Amino acid sequence: MWASASWTIRPLLYGMSHPLVSAGRQSGADGRTVSCVRPVLDLADVTATVVLVHGAWHGAWCWDGIVAGLEARAIPAVAVDLPGHGLDAGPMTDLHGDADRVRSVLDACDGPVVLVGHSYGGGVITEAGGHPQVAHLVYVAAFPLDESESAASAATEHPRLAELVHDGRPDLGSALAFAEDGTTTLIPEGAARLLYNRCSPDVAAAAVLRLDPQPMVNLTQSPTTVAWRERPSTYAVCADDNIVHPGLQRILAERASTVVEWDTDHSPFLSRPDLVVDLLADLAAQL
């Protein structure tokens, strides 16, 4: 069902100013280089595509280097703006609305898909990843949630948290600014230390400027389905992650079929894109 000699991606458009899928670049209204929908792909020699789902506070833009790296190897890749993030005008939705967005992108794919989730995006792909196009799941410093489990409960209530040592780690709470609408933003200095501690200062500074508010309710919700119980999966542990404890990642990674570990921060798509591209290209080539 998942093997195919050819496939196409048909980007879904809710008007040309509302891109769902990111696989290229254009100049935004503020002069920045941003991700955008690109034309239909038709690469008969490629059997799989990579669909990339960002984490909290981010947008599809964070995957730009990965999309470019995969396409340089003739592996099509698309990155999804979850509702209200990146170029998407909103409104923001909860975990289930985010999963619906990913499913709508998967509906537009013919052939097998490697579905990738970063951080909170792991919960999104856990719910959306039962889609028939999905052949493999990849969790990058992410939350492969189980039934009745949320990102928040996995991070604060997991029965094995006592095994973890937190000495010297930055405090997420001190970096959060809470809004009355139930969203949070990250204080720039805290964001750089939590998310981009292995990135060059200019890369980290540019990324911080692009972060969006994040609804906190999403982090308290559980997936309606658990795709990693039905699909093979790979977990990439980020060993110098300052926001999702590497020890917790190793515990959660026990749910995956295979595990790799990188000496990176929480954002290897910016600090070590070569590692991410190599992994995803290898997985796509196997389908």
**Of 93, 123, 67, the residue nearest 273 (C-alpha):** 67
Distance in angstroms (rounded) separating the CA atoms of residues 2 and 49: 11
Cβ atoms 78, 21 nearer than 8 A: yes
Q: Is the pLDDT of residue 212 over 90?
A: yes
- What are the tens digits of pLDDT across the range 18-63? 234 444 333 333 333 333 333 333 434 557 999 999 999 999 999 9
Distance of alpha carbon 283 from alpha carbon 287, whole angstroms: 7
Tokens matching residue 92: 């923001």
Q: Is pLDDT at 252 greater than 80 in this prediction?
A: yes
Domain 8-285 in this protein, CATH class: alpha beta
**Whole-structure pTM value:** 0.85
Tell whether the model's pLDDT for residue 143 goes beyond 70: yes
Q: Which residues contact 182 (CB under 8 A, 6 or more apart)?
A: 215, 216, 217
Q: What is the mean pLDDT of residues 220-229?
A: 98
Query: Residue range 141-167: average pLDDT?
Result: 92
Lowest-pLDDT range, 3-7, 43-47, 174-178?
3-7
Mean pLDDT for 143-151 is: 97
